Amino acid sequence: MPLSALATVSEQINQTGRSALYDLPSSARYRRISSKDLANEYLFYSISSAALFSAANSCELVMVNSGLFGGDYNGQFLQLSAMGSGTRTINSDLGAQGFDNATTSMLLIGSNRGPETRLSFRDIFLDKWNDLIEDKLMGSDASPHGDPLLTWEMFPAPSVVGLNSDLTYLHVFQALDVLVHVGPAVTYHYDAGIGFYIFLYTNAKKQLKAFVAGAEVWVQSGFYHDNVESALWEKVRLDGIPALNSELAAQLAPFSRIPVLDVYYLPGNQTKPVPSILTGSTTDDITIVLERE
């Protein structure tokens, strides 16, 4: 089986001590290494050095510390990049980047398999979202609290949202302040939030498409929790999902004229050349990568 990449992680600096080897077949875009996988290798929160070799094209090893986020593949990350066939990147001491014994999950990603267009999720979507949320909430008792969280959801664990655990998504989550008027002089503030999971894909005509694959509503506990939650769900289902699907179609229309073979994601903003060792957070931004024909 032809391989695209090989990664080695070790529990001690200079690639010593207990270690594990992970490969990426050339037929796959991602190799996921979950927290459970690392625990089985006794490497959960126990990796101090790593090496990455690109057998073909280029590749990235994304090491993630989920911290308070929970789950896999979300949070602070350290990325090793091997840029070009036959290249290698070694980090003999992850402590130099503050990532010693910090890794809770990893993604091995094959990249640059053909011409690519790289887009910043935040750059292309933030202003459109802010305009959309302002329009849809105008006149209601809910208002946005700051900018949305624009991130990814990679191979999500089973949940009530109903996402496919074998797929990858873009995730938009907007914090809200909701007013509950209970009398002429009594108003309560409820912290709340709405979220949408966006699925990008290419169809048989090599066109880039997208739709809202799932939605979520969160409301702080309290006497009026159910009322607020019900009102937000109605807003999400009747206004939010149709409006977002319409906006996605409009934003992707220019790409309908460009044959796209595949779409995948990288953490942070990687629209410009990046160093062989990159750090950041998946909450900073997500890079949408279009592999063109």
Longest dimension (CA), the chain: 72
82 is written with which tokens? 């091997």
Assigned fold of 3-113: Gamma-B Crystallin; domain 1 (2.60.20)
- Under DSSP, is residue 93 helix (H, G, I), strand (E, B) or coil? coil
Model pLDDT, residue 69: 67
Task: State mean pLDDT over 237-256.
Answer: 90
DSSP symbol at 252: H
Model pLDDT, residue 139: 77
pLDDT tens sequence across 144-165:
999 999 999 999 988 868 899 9
Model pLDDT, residue 158: 85
Model pLDDT, residue 256: 77
Model pLDDT, residue 67: 87
Model pLDDT, residue 76: 97
Model pLDDT, residue 140: 85
Task: State mean pLDDT over 278-293.
Answer: 97
Model pLDDT, residue 145: 93
Model pLDDT, residue 253: 85
pLDDT tens sequence across 92-141:
999 999 999 999 999 999 999 999 999 999 999 999 999 999 888 887 89
Residue partners of 227: CB distance under 8 A and separation at least 6: 180
pLDDT tens sequence across 212-235:
999 999 999 999 999 999 999 999
pTM of the complete model:
0.94
CA distance 175 to 115: 37
CA distance 63 to 40: 17
Percent of the chain with pLDDT over 90: 86
Q: How confident is the model at residue 254 (pLDDT cuts 50, 70, 90)?
A: confident
Task: State mean pLDDT over 193-207.
Answer: 95
CA distance 116 to 118: 6
Measured in residues, the chain has a length of: 293
Q: Kindly list the domain boundaries of the chain, sorted by start residue.
A: 3-113, 118-257
The angle at the Cα of 277, spanning 273 to 283, to the nearest 5 degrees, equals 80
H/E segment holding residue 144: strand 142-144
Q: How confident is the model at residue 186 (pLDDT cuts 50, 70, 90)?
A: confident
- Under DSSP, is residue 207 helix (H, G, I), strand (E, B) or coil? coil
- Position of tokens 């050349």? 273
Strands of the sheet with 16-25, listed across from one edge: 16-25, 3-12, 49-54, 88-91
Taking all residues of the chain, what is their mean pLDDT, rounded to a whole number?
Answer: 94
Confidence check: pLDDT of 184 > 90:
no
State how far the alpha carbon of 137 is from the alpha carbons of 86, 131, 181, 243, in Å: 53, 10, 17, 12
